[in-house]
């Protein structure tokens, strides 16, 4: 292994009883993934609307995107955070209650209420959903309509999309749903990486055996993926006539794949029986995910898999009002 490979065998941070906010915080301590994407995302948004003063962050989780916004604001700026998940609300209340001058948390009881709260705000210059589009994907039209009502005259509405939700044009991304096969000329995303694939298989097997899971995979439904033409049409109908997409990719060394796998409640456990398990028995969900990862790390192939590099492709999609 390379000289950084001790990361590959460090103890897992998952533990029973963790809240989603605690698990997410532990991931961010070890991996710059969300912070790096937020910096780029906010940077592009500022290029598109350099005079923006009122910002809104959708489903901010621990506030990584709002923090990126705040690094370049003046005393006239405001940053609204819309969140409905209890553990993240508690985290943000503690964080903002101690220090923040610019950021204001708006709490909702559920996703429906959150979209309604968005529609009730006015004159927002930049509305962003950074790595949190999954819950909105089946109801994007409703979301962008609410954003249109909240938007100021020259507003920017932005989302980020990974390979689950976007068909990349700049990169030929291998289909992670085909068992991890990567063809000639294709880019391996972290979802096609052998460690990610093996953890996915283990998790599905354990979920079937113990929790009656009745599907052969735990991937986001393929029908939730965006079609760019449909996205452009929905944006235009909401008052955003121009849509642009900027594509990049971030290198993901194999020895850090277990970080991404431990963050798997944001990917694997969002649908069907696994979502129900996560919501009703979170300690069992974390234990299940941890066991799946430990089983893979015990496989004889694991050291060789840690030497395989993948990429995380991200599409920054911006809808522009003027």
E-strand ranges in the chain read 54-58, 78-83, 103-107, 124-129, 151-161, 242-252, 310-320
Residue with tokens 């689950």: 164
Q: What is the pLDDT of residue 63?
A: 95
Instruction: Name the H helices within 151-240.
Output: 194-211, 228-237
Asked if residues 201 and 299 have their Cβ atoms less than 8 Å apart, the reply is: no
State the DSSP H helix or E strand holding residue 97, giving kind and residue range, or none if neither.
helix 86-98
What is the rounded CA–CA span in Å between residue 283 and residue 161?
29
Longest pairwise C-alpha distance within the chain? 58
Asked if residues 203 and 264 have their Cβ atoms less than 8 Å apart, the reply is: yes
Number of structural domains in the chain: 1
Strand partners, 243: 319
**Which tokens go with 193?**
């990486």
Q: What is the pLDDT of residue 5?
A: 65
CA distances from residue 310 to 126, 194, 265 in whole angstroms, order as listed = 32, 10, 20
Give the pLDDT of the chain (322 residues) as one tens digit per residue: 444 468 889 999 999 888 889 999 999 999 999 999 999 999 999 999 999 999 999 999 999 999 999 998 888 899 999 999 999 999 999 988 766 778 999 999 999 999 999 999 999 999 999 999 999 999 999 999 999 999 999 999 999 999 999 999 999 999 999 999 999 999 999 999 999 999 999 999 999 999 888 889 999 888 889 999 999 999 999 999 999 999 999 999 999 999 999 998 788 887 777 888 888 888 889 999 999 999 999 999 999 999 999 999 999 999 999 7
Residue 35 lies in domain = 5-320
- Burial profile 57-89: b = 16 or more Cβ within 10 angstroms, e = fewer: bbbbbbbbbbbbbbeebeeebebbbbbbbebbb
CATH code of 291's domain: 3.40.50.150
Q: pTM for the full model?
A: 0.94
């Amino acid at each position: 292994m390379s000289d950084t490979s001790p990361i590959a065998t460090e103890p897992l941070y998952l533990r029973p009883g963790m809240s989603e906010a605690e698990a997410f915080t532990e991931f961010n301590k070890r991996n710059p993934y969300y912070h790096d994407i937020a910096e780029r995302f906010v940077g592009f948004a500022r290029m598109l609307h350099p005079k923006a003063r009122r910002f809104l962050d959708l489903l901010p989780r621990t506030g990584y995107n709002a923090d990126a916004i705040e690094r370049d604001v003046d005393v006239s700026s405001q940053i609204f955070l819309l969140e409905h998940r209890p553990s993240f609300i508690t985290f943000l209340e503690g964080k903002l209650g101690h220090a923040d001058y610019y950021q204001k948390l708006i709490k909702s009881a559920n996703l429906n209420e959150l979209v309604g709260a968005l529609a009730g705000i006015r004159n927002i210059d930049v509305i962003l959903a950074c790595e949190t589009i999954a819950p909105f994907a089946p109801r994007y039209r409703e979301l962008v309509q609410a954003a249109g009502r909240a938007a100021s005259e020259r507003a920017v509405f932005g989302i980020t999309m990974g390979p689950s939700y976007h068909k990349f044009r700049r990169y030929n991304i291998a289909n992670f749903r085909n068992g991890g096969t990567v063809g000639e000329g294709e880019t391996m995303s972290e979802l096609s990486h052998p460690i990610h694939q093996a953890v996915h298989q283990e998790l599905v097997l354990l979920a079937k055996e113990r929790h009656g899971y009745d599907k052969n995979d735990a991937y986001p439904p393929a029908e939730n993926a965006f079609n760019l033409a449909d996205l452009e049409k929905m944006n235009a109908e909401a008052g955003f006539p121009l849509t642009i997409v900027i594509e990049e990719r971030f290198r993901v060394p194999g020895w850090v794949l277990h970080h991404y796998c431990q963050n798997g409640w944001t990917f694997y456990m969002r649908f069907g029986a696994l979502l129900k398990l996560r919501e009703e028995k979170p300690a069992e969900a974390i234990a299940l995910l941890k066991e799946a990862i430990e089983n893979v790390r015990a496989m004889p192939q694991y050291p060789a898999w840690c030497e395989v590099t993948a990429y995380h492709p991200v599409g920054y999609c911006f809808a522009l009002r003027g």
